[in-house]
């Protein structure tokens, strides 16, 4: 293992106006081409798996994603992140979240996330504090979420423009200040216009709404929270808003729908896992180079 930590990389990105992309892999064959693309672009990124990617897709479980990651391991450029482990999931069911996170740390995950965003504020703080303590004992950073990044729910969303104009689900600035101080989280996933891609079988192949971000609100959250902010639902947000968000606190950005739909489409068309992997590789390189401007930034982010 190289000397820098994921916490260092994300903090360096936060201070430099850059971002650490976190690529969600709902299918295990996606791991290798994403790692290869990141290395070939000389960027730094995370391979991520969320609970819904092994309950609603085919990632199978955190141990399987870890196995695929360590087979393609390139620790100078790519590390392993446990994404959304909810306290209450997208189907409104309670989740026994702590053993899942503890197991991931034991498996060698380099950062973890607990999602208590469907809880009342005090309960979210308490759950996050519990996970942060567990993670910090292993020198692993803890991500949490405050606000409602919509899109994973089973029912239909209100029209996007209605959501944006009303600020429905946006992270509250003063709550963010209190949340970080009392929970001990290292990174905070926020809502400021971003939405998740749909995960229901009927909707998962549909194009995402072209979202945007309330940049003024982001700047206020950045000042109040004073920790690196995380942008979930990164696929489909207009490039201008994505790039500008890096200067307003976003230091980690989740990308899932974009590369997942490429994989699914090419696999369906070609019946070839190799062709689908190549499509993911090319798309990941495009995202890193053209969309995010991260080519040849690895040393700057990692300090290595």
Which stretches of the chain are assigned E, i.e. beta strand? 20-24, 45-49, 78-86, 111-115, 142-145, 187-190, 229-231, 250-255
Q: Are 185 and 134 in contact (CB under 8 A)?
A: no
Look-up of token digits 């996050």? 128
Look-up of token digits 């090419």? 266
Structure tokens at 158: 């209100």
Q: How far apart are the first and last CA of the chain?
A: 12
Active site annotation includes 122: no
DSSP letters of 235-295? TT--HHHHHHHGGGTEEEEEE-HHHHHHHHHHHHHH--HHHHHHHHHHHHHHIIIIIS--T
Catalytic residue (choose from 83, 115, 186, 214): 83
Structural element, H or E, at residue 10:
helix 6-16
| φ, ψ (nearest 5 deg) of residue 147 | 105, 180
Give the active site residues. 83
């Amino acid at each position: 293992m190289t000397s820098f930590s994921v916490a260092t990389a994300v903090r360096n990105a936060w201070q430099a106006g850059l971002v650490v992309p976190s690529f969600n892999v709902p299918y295990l064959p996606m791991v290798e081409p994403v790692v290869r693309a990141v290395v070939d672009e000389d960027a730094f990124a995370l391979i991520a798996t969320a609970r819904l990617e092994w309950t609603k897709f085919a990632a199978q479980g955190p141990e399987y994603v870890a196995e695929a990651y360590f087979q393609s391991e390139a620790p100078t450029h790519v590390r392993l992140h446990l994404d959304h482990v909810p306290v209450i999931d997208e189907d409104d069911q309670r989740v026994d979240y702590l053993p899942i996170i503890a197991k991931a740390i034991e498996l060698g995950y380099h950062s973890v996330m607990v999602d208590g965003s469907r809880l009342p504020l005090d309960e979210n703080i308490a759950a996050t504090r519990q996970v942060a303590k567990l993670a910090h004992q292993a020198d692993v950073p803890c991500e949490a979420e405050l606000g409602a990044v919509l899109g994973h729910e089973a029912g239909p969303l209100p029209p996007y423009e209605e959501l944006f104009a009303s600020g429905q689900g946006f992270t509250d600035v003063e709550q963010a200040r209190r949340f970080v101080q009392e929970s001990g989280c290292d990174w905070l996933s926020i809502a400021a216009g971003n939405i998740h891609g749909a995960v229901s079988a009927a909707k998962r192949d549909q194009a995402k709404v072209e979202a945007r971000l309330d940049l003024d609100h982001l700047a206020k959250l950045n000042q109040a929270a004073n920790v690196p902010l995380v942008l979930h639902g990164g696929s489909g947000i207009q490039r201008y808003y994505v790039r500008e968000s890096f200067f307003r606190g976003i230091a980690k950005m989740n990308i899932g729908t974009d590369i997942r739909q490429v994989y699914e489409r090419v696999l369906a068309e070609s019946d070839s896992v190799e062709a689908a992997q190549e499509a993911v590789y090319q798309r990941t390189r495009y995202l890193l180079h053209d969309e995010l401007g991260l080519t040849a930034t690895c040393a700057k982010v990692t300090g290595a």
